């Protein structure tokens, strides 16, 4: 099982950002915690955690 992040802009359109694949959810979440500012700088407002083809959850990358 591979865990990856997808990124979306404010309109829900995909944002190109370096893709990483992780063996577990915790590793994927830790990596995002270290790199989320780069995704925002690339135009992402939402991160989507995906396990294989199943969406685990979506989260905002913007401050409330």
pLDDT in tens, 12-60: 999 988 889 999 999 999 999 999 999 999 999 999 999 999 999 999 9
Which pLDDT score, from 0 to 100, does residue 21 have? 96
The pLDDT of residue 31 is 95
Cβ–Cβ < 8 Å for 41, 52? no
Please tell me the distance from the alpha carbon of residue 40 to that of residue 61, in angstroms, as a whole number: 7
Q: Tell me the sheet residues that pair with 51.
A: 3, 54
């Amino acid at each position: 099982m591979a865990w990856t992040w997808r990124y979306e802009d404010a309109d829900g359109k995909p944002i190109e950002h370096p893709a990483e694949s992780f063996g577990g959810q915790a590793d994927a979440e830790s990596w995002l915690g270290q790199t989320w500012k780069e995704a925002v700088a690339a135009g992402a407002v939402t991160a989507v955690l995906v396990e294989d083809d199943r969406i685990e959850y979506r989260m905002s990358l913007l401050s409330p």
